[in-house]
Chain A
Amino acid sequence: MAVKFVRPKIPKFAPDPWAIQFDEQGHLRHLLTIEGLGPQWITRILDTAEGFVSVTDREIKKVPLLRGRTVVNLFFESSTRTRTTFELAAKRLSADVLNLNLATSATKKGESLLDTLRNIEAMQADMFVVRHEQSGAAHFIARHVAPHVSVLNAGDGWHSHPTQALLDAFTIRRHKGDFTPLRVAIVGDIRHSRVARSQMHVLNSLNVGELRVIAPRTLLPTHIEKLGVRVFHDMREGLKDVDVIIMLRLQRERMEAGLLPSEEEFYRLYGLTEEKLAWAKPDAIVMHPGPANRGVEIESSVADGPQSVILEQVSNGIGVRMAVMSLCMSANRGENA
């Protein structure tokens, strides 16, 4: 007769990819993607962040919201800035923070993602902040964590980086107020950018006036227009009447993969110089998720210039991440936040 294997139970699939983000009462439990949040939740996160950004301006920067809680930074891909701001955000909420740089350790030794997860879960962690090079990794972890654990996506593959997009929306709102009359342009390597995808979802959810992408076709994925953007290949046309310019980081590997002939050509065509910046509205702000490659996608004088809000993005990032952490944790405690 046939031998039947004994199998562990496989968890069931949620019909909507984003439904898993909410608990049974409809509270935000995980933040994996912007999709499914809707304008209400996005606005609520941004409003909550306003309060925390003022905390960070105070002399004593701590609030006791997450006292006694453990936040684990699970970084399967190395990152300094994002990890640091998540760490600072957790510490300012009085949580205990554990940083695990897994890019070099466990998984390289053949340990499976699920095993790593179970081990850290056994250390009574309350929240995982996850960065992974594979799209869908944060969803996978959220689907398999213990019921008391929240998962925040700090970037998965080319898919999603929701806190970055939220802090960008926060920064834009602080400078421009209403989103509906705004023209926003995202420039550069859209194809490989999780930041760009999340920005598209967040800005379209907030009903931005017009969202544009500017890049050569090799840096644009198929059917990008279906995400609600207008496609431009020329900077002069694309930047016309734009209120916000978001530059994306260009990685050197892209030349080797045959997507671009050279850094020089890219800079000449798409690099944000003072000359090109003049094509946008005079009060346009310049953003970059960092770290910027000066002389590749952005000129130093623009990055450091009066229209640049790049450093502000970094400090706003702490407040936005504090907001997300506190909202997810309050859902977890069963509190009606």
Chain B
Amino acid sequence: MKDAPENLGIDHDPVRHPEGCRPGIDCDRWVIRGARLRDPSNGLDTTSDIYLGDGRIVGIGEAPGNWPTDTAEHVCAEGHWLIPGVIDGWARLREPGHEHKATIATESAAAVAGGITTVVMPPDTIPVLDTIAVARYIKRRAQLAGRARVVAIGAMTQQLGGELLAEMAALDAGGCVAISNAHYPFQDLRLMRRALEYAATFDLQVLLQPLDPSLSERGCAHDGAVATRLGLPGLPVSAETGPLAQLIAMISETGARVHVPQLSSAAALKLIERAKADGLPITAGVSAHHLWLTEMDTDALDPNAHVIPPLRTIRDRDALRRGLAEGLIDTVVSDHQPHEPDAKLAPFPETEPGISGLETLLPLVLKLVEEDVLDFDRAIDALTTRPAALFGLSDSGSIAVGQRADLALIDPDAMWSLGSTGMASAGENTPFIGWDFAHQVETTWVNGRRVFLREQ
């Protein structure tokens, strides 16, 4: 099905040159000299020149024969690392429907500033991404913005209502890389099982976030010591593990390929571990903030630490870190949710949950490498190779001749701290303001086009 997608009028190559090619600005041909190329997926770690042309990597070490090197733009990148562009598997860009928070234009610019070249969008837009028209609109907006590639996850049920199945096969043919019901519940378990069965028929990748609506009602923080002290309604771990266990039971019956985008607890990780050991087609991700923050960060009632699933205990955080290091957790996502300032200007429980995370995804993961929690190869694997495989983006997520030229150039000794004024995202809702990072994205190429260059 994936091999021969039906052409429904959607350009499968979303990032083009809306302004036409301006030589030297968004030049079609690039020579990046002297960078350390690091791509663990094919064992690449070498200092070499790399040649980009027509949106692809055309040569590593030497240019292909008859390649017009003279007319290419040259970049001197000594002392820098070149990695495959990050694929962020779960990020809200707020368009269509919430343009007062952010737009595809602002957020795709924020993505490339954070080294993300492909953004995968859940279907909870307004209107819901349950028709090809909406998918087409999103692609068109991303093309016009001309920054990151934006790919969409289609809805599993109509209007995400959890009652009637959406046209999953059509959404797949129309370019959706997976299907999901975002964070909306199914009406009942029977419907959920049917939806999984139907998805399995076409071998679609399903993304489901386990969160029991009745156990999570009104909850805004982990049901633990901090929530008890602050008098905040709690979200128990069982709100995650309960539905996850049901989901695993249904995967074993239906054979549906399911990815859980954001784990938040050690107990949920254990369930995933067992399911994987049983050979079930289940994979899991974690958001970057769950690898760094805990319930203690909600202590100051900072609405920027209000996220769903909630920040849990130090024990949970450490388990998630271990799970990621061991590869039990496949991917890391930003769970990007930009907000307008008003959304966070209220007492903690009344604020809207979410962190603006595109620009901190790669820095936070590389900070784990710096602190020896994670090795570099696993970090890059979780941000590029695994999400590429998960979403069937076979020409992305690695540095090799013939692959898409989606690349991020990193200064490994930049020493910078996140300031609220320096963010490219329209949402400044992040608890990481003031954090120090060593690695900084200098330049980003998407489809062979330089879409981001850090101002010096």
CB distance B231 to A10 under 8 Å?
A: no
CB distance A221 to B228 under 8 Å?
A: yes
How many B residues have CB within 8 A of the partner chain? 37
Q: Which residues between 1 and 57 of chain A lie within 8 Å of chain B, taking CB atoms?
A: 1-5, 7-8, 10, 13-17
Note all chain A residues with C-beta closer than 8 A to B428: 7, 10
Q: A136-B347, A140-B347 are in contact. Are A4 and B234 (CB under 8 A)?
A: no
Flag whether A98 is at the interface (Cβ < 8 A): no
Q: A3-B105, A10-B428, A134-B349 are in contact. Are A222 and B300 (CB under 8 A)?
A: no
* Complex Cα gap A13–B301 (Å): 9
Flag whether B230 is at the interface (Cβ < 8 A): yes
Of A3, A112, A136, A194, most buried by chain B (CB within 10 Å of CB) is: A136
- Name B residues whose Cβ lies closer than 8 Å to a Cβ of A: 103, 105-106, 109-110, 145, 147, 223-225, 227-234, 236, 299-302, 340-342, 344-350, 420, 424, 426, 428
- Main secondary structure on chain A at its contact with chain B? loop
CB distance A135 to B349 under 8 Å?
A: yes
A–B Cβ pairs within 8 angstroms, 19 of them = A2-B110, A2-B147, A2-B424, A7-B341, A10-B428, A13-B300, A13-B302, A14-B300, A112-B346, A114-B346, A135-B231, A135-B349, A136-B347, A139-B347, A140-B346, A144-B345, A159-B231, A223-B225, A223-B228
Flag whether A160 is at the interface (Cβ < 8 A): yes
CB distance B341 to A197 under 8 Å?
A: no
Q: B348: which of A3, A8, A136, A194 is its contact (CB, 8 Å)?
A: A136
Flag whether A158 is at the interface (Cβ < 8 A): yes
Chain A minimum-CB-distance residue to B302:
A13
CB distance A134 to B350 under 8 Å?
A: yes
CB distance A114 to B347 under 8 Å?
A: no
Q: A136: which of B103, B301, B424 is its contact (CB, 8 Å)?
A: B301
Of A10, A132, A137, most buried by chain B (CB within 10 Å of CB) is: A10
CB distance A222 to B231 under 8 Å?
A: no
Q: B341: which of A8, A135, A160, A223 is its contact (CB, 8 Å)?
A: A8
CB distance B230 to A136 under 8 Å?
A: yes
Flag whether A311 is at the interface (Cβ < 8 A): no
Min distance, Cβ A220 to any Cβ of chain B, angstroms: 9
CB distance B341 to A17 under 8 Å?
A: no
Chain A minimum-CB-distance residue to B102:
A5
* Complex Cα gap A95–B348 (Å): 32
- Name A residues whose Cβ lies closer than 8 Å to a Cβ of B: 1-5, 7-8, 10, 13-17, 112-114, 132, 134-137, 139-140, 144, 156-160, 194, 197, 221-224, 226-227
Chain B minimum-CB-distance residue to A140:
B347
Chain B minimum-CB-distance residue to A11:
B345
CB distance B231 to A113 under 8 Å?
A: no
Chain B minimum-CB-distance residue to A14:
B300
CB distance A3 to B346 under 8 Å?
A: no
* Complex Cα gap A265–B409 (Å): 68
Note all chain A residues with C-beta closer than 8 A to B426: 3-5
* Complex Cα gap A47–B28 (Å): 78
CB distance B224 to A112 under 8 Å?
A: no
CB distance B230 to A222 under 8 Å?
A: no
Note all chain A residues with C-beta closer than 8 A to B223: 221-222
CB distance B103 to A3 under 8 Å?
A: yes
* Complex Cα gap A157–B229 (Å): 12
Note all chain A residues with C-beta closer than 8 A to B348: 134-136, 140
CB distance B302 to A137 under 8 Å?
A: no
* Complex Cα gap A5–B100 (Å): 9
Q: A10: which of B147, B228, B420 is its contact (CB, 8 Å)?
A: B420
Note all chain B residues with C-beta closer than 8 A to A224: 228
CB distance A17 to B228 under 8 Å?
A: no
* Complex Cα gap A112–B106 (Å): 27
* Complex Cα gap A224–B230 (Å): 11
Chain B minimum-CB-distance residue to A16:
B300
CB distance B347 to A113 under 8 Å?
A: yes
Q: A134-B348, A222-B228 are in contact. Are A10 and B341 (CB under 8 A)?
A: yes
Note all chain A residues with C-beta closer than 8 A to B349: 134-136, 157
Q: A221: which of B227, B301, B342, B350 is its contact (CB, 8 Å)?
A: B227
Min distance, Cβ B316 to any Cβ of chain A, angstroms: 14
Note all chain B residues with C-beta closer than 8 A to A5: 106, 340, 426
CB distance B224 to A157 under 8 Å?
A: no
Chain A minimum-CB-distance residue to B344:
A10
* Complex Cα gap A144–B347 (Å): 11
Note all chain A residues with C-beta closer than 8 A to B225: 222-223, 226
Q: A8-B341, A114-B345, A222-B223 are in contact. Are A158 and B103 (CB under 8 A)?
A: no
* Complex Cα gap A158–B236 (Å): 17
Note all chain A residues with C-beta closer than 8 A to B232: 135-136, 157-159
CB distance B299 to A134 under 8 Å?
A: no
CB distance A3 to B345 under 8 Å?
A: no
